[in-house]
Amino acid sequence: MIQPELRNNRNSLRLRSRDDKGVQLFPARHFAAATTALLPLASALVLALVSTTDLRAQAAAACEEAAEVSVLPSPVAPWKGAPLRVILAAEKPLTGTLSLVAPDGSVAARSAERHGGPPYFWFAEVASPAAGKWRATLTGGRAITECTVTREITVRADRPPPPQEMAGMVWPLHNTWNRATENLYSAWIEKLFDAPLEEELSWRALHEVLRDQSRNVLFNHLGLGEDSMKMVLRPDCADLPYFLRAYFAFKMGLPFGYSICSRGGGGKAPRCPQWFSIQNRQPPAPTATPAPVQAAAPRATVAKRSNGFFANLLNTPEEEPQSEPVAAAAPSTPAPPPASRRLGLAASFGHYSQAVGNGVHSGSGRTALNDNNTDYYPVPLSEQTLRPGTVYADPYGHILVLVRRVAQTADAAGVIMAVDGQPDGTVARKRFWRGNFLFAQDPALGGPGFKRFRPIVLTKAGALHRLTNDEIARNPDYADFSLDQAKLGMEQFYDRMDDVMSPEPLDPLRAMKEAITSLDEQVKVRITSVENGRKFQNSGREANMPDGPAIFETTGPWEDFSTPSRDLRLLIAIDVVRGFPDRVERRPERYAMPRNKSAASVKAELQSVLASELATRKFSYPRSDGSQWTLTLKDVFDRMSVLEMAYNPNDCVELRWGASEKTDEASTCRKHAPSAQRAKMTKYRAWFNERRRPPRA
C-alpha cells in the first residue's frame, strides 16, 4: 500500500474530436464518492453498506490522488475499426494488474508488467475492440487498502470525424504540460525504445521506430492515417529530442516551441535571441537567394538538410533528404505558411516540422545553465529527475535522450539507457557511461549536463509562454530547476552519477564488465555509420572536408558520413576501459572490495580479466567488396593510434577500421582520401591524440 502525502486536486482534462465527444485523459477526483452520495439511505443496513462503500471509494480516490495516476487511451476517439491501446502511468510505485474490460464484462487484455520508475506505467492493447463502454482497471490485489483505478472508455461503432485545425495554431490545443502529461510523455518514450538490456537496438532512421505499431502507442492516434503516410525522419542528435517532443505534442494537443540559437564562440555559451512556437511561427527562409541569409543575431543557425516529418508531402524523397538553406535568424514578425501548404492537419504539421529541423542544432542544448531564454533547463541528479525524455547535452555538441532507468539489484549495477541520432540519420540505444556521456566544465563550451524541456503554458491572454527558471522552481508539477551540475567537476559528476544509478558500492569486477559491455556496444554502433559511408562512397561521390573545428560541425555529406565526433568519443571510451583497473586501485572506497585482498591484487585480477574479455569479444564489418571481416575489441585497442585518423568517408572502410597496408584485411581497399585531406587530418590529429575537441572560433 502507498501512503504518500496527498497533493491538491487537478482538474480533469479531455481530448476532443470535432463532435466534442472526447475520452477522459486525466483523473476526475472522487467520482466514486460522489456516486455513492446519491444512493438512498433506507435502513441501518443500507447505511452501513453505503458507509463501507463510501469509505472504500474515498480510500481508493485518496490512494489514486497520492500516486498521481494518469490514463491515456489511444486513438483520441476510440472506435471498433482501430486497435485500442491504453497506458496507465503513476508517479508512485503502485503494484497491480491493468485490465481492459469489454462491454460484456469479459477481460479482453491484461498486463501485470509494471515498467519504468519513475514514472511507473502499464500498457495493454486490444486489436479489435467491440463498440460500447470499456473499463481500464488497475487492481492491486485482494486487500481493501490496495489502490483500484478505473476509467471508462467509450468505443464508437462508426469512424469518428477527424480532428480539425485551430485558427492561429499549427495544431489544436487540448491539454497542458503538467505532471500528468510529462509522465505520459516519459511512458511513451520508454515504450517506444523498449527492449531487454542485452539487445542491441539501432535503426537506420527514426521513422522506422514510429512506423512500428508494437512500439508506438500513438500510431495513427488522431485517426488521420498520419503514421501510415511515408513520413521521413532522419534527425541528427540535436534534432532528435525536438522531433520526439513535437510528435508527442502534436498527437496530444500540447504546446510546443523552439529557439533560434547561436553556437557560442569567443569564450561564451550559445545564446537564443528568438523563440518560435506553434502560435508564433518562424517565417520561411527566402527562396530567391541560394545562400543562407545573414542577420544581426550572433552566430545563429547554419543551413541543415530538411529532416522534417511527412517530408514526402513536401517533395522530399525518402531515400535521400535534400539540403535546404535556412536563414541564420528569422525576423520577429510571425508569418503563417503559404495557403497552398494548408493541406490539412497532418500536412500542416509536416510543414512546421521542416522549420524545427532546420532551426535547432547542438548549440540549442549547450546554453548556459542559468539562462532563462532557452528550450531546456538543468535538473538535479537524482532517481526522481533522470526519467525518460530527459536530455543530456555534452560540452562538445552531442545530445542524447534518456529512455529507461533500471534500478540496481543484488546481482547487477543500475543502468540508464539513452538514444541518440547521428548525422546519417541512424538512431541507436546505448548505456550511460563515460564513453558516451562526456562531461567538462568550460564556459566557452556552454552548459553541459542533464536537462528537461522547458514547460510551455497558455496564458490568460491566450499567448504561449515558456516558464522561467524561477517559475519552474515554484511550480509543484516540476519544482526541479537546479544549478547543482554547474558546481561539479568531471570526477564529481561521474561519482554523483554512480551514486544515482547504483547507490550501493559495486563489485569491481562486475563494474568493469559493464564498462566493457558499453564499449562493445559503442563499437558495434560505429559499424552502421561506417557502412553508411561505404554506401555513399559506392555512389561515386566525394565528401568535401571542411577546415579546422568545422570538421565536427558542418553540413552536407561530410556531416552525414564522417565520424570525427563519434571517433573522439570512442577513443575516450577506450581510455576509460583501459584505465579501469587503475581507477579501482586509486579509489577503492567506491567499490565493494573483496575481503582479505589488497587493492593491488584486485587491480592485477582486473587486468587479467580485461585482457581475456578484449580478446574474446568479436564483431564483423563489411569490407569494400561487401565481404565480412572479423575483429576483436583487442584489435580496436591495438589500433587506437590509427583510429585518430579514421573518420574520413573518402577512405575505404578497411582504413577506417585501422587495417594496415598490404595485409589480407586491406587487400579489398580501393579508395583513399585525397592527399590534401590526408594532410589536414595529420594537422588535426593532435586533437584526437590529446582527447580534446578544439574550441569554436
Mean pLDDT of 152-170: 94
At CB < 8 A and 24+ separation, what contacts does 349-352 make?
Answer: 349/170, 349/171, 349/226, 349/250, 349/309, 349/310, 350/231, 350/308, 350/309, 350/310, 350/311, 350/313, 350/314, 351/308, 351/313, 351/314, 352/170, 352/246, 352/278, 352/281, 352/308
Q: Is 453 helix (H, G, I), strand (E, B) or coil?
A: strand
User: At residue 148, does pLDDT exceed 70?
Assistant: yes
Mean pLDDT (the chain, rounded): 84
Q: How confident is the model at residue 423 (pLDDT cuts 50, 70, 90)?
A: confident
| pLDDT 10s digits, 510-539 | 999 999 999 999 999 899 889 999 999 999
Mean pLDDT of 495-509: 93
Q: What is the pLDDT of residue 522?
A: 92
| pLDDT 10s digits, 25-70 | 434 333 333 333 333 333 343 334 445 455 455 555 666 666 789 9
CB 344 within 8 A of CB 447: no
Q: What is the pLDDT of residue 478?
A: 97
Distances (CA, A) of 36 to 46, 54, 133, 648: 11, 6, 20, 72
Q: Which three cell numbers stand for residue 410?
A: 543484488
- 3-class SS string, 627-685: CEEEEEHHHHHHCCCHHHHCCCCCCCHHHHCCCCCCCCHHHHCCCCCCHHHHHHHHHHH
Q: What is the pLDDT of residue 230?
A: 78
Q: What is the pLDDT of residue 58?
A: 57
CB 432 within 8 A of CB 418: yes
Q: What is the residue type of 397? A: G
Q: What is the pLDDT of residue 557?
A: 93
Q: What is the pLDDT of residue 500?
A: 95
Mean pLDDT of 297-321: 40
Q: What is the pLDDT of residue 338?
A: 44
**pTM summary value:** 0.81
| pLDDT 10s digits, 634-692 | 999 999 999 999 999 999 999 999 999 999 999 999 999 999 999 999 999 999 999 98
CA-based nearest residue to 650, from 631, 688, 678, 683: 678
Distance CA 677, CA 648 (A): 9
Mean pLDDT of 574-581: 96
Range of lowest pLDDT (64-68, 397-401, 410-414, 626-630): 64-68
Q: Is 74 helix (H, G, I), strand (E, B) or coil?
A: strand
Distance CA 392, CA 420 (A): 10
Distance CA 602, CA 463 (A): 62
User: At residue 247, does pLDDT exceed 60?
Assistant: yes
User: At residue 623, does pLDDT exceed 70?
Assistant: yes
User: At residue 2, does pLDDT exceed 80?
Assistant: no
| pLDDT 10s digits, 352-403 | 888 999 999 999 999 999 999 999 999 999 999 999 999 999 998 899 999 9
User: At residue 314, does pLDDT exceed 80?
Assistant: no
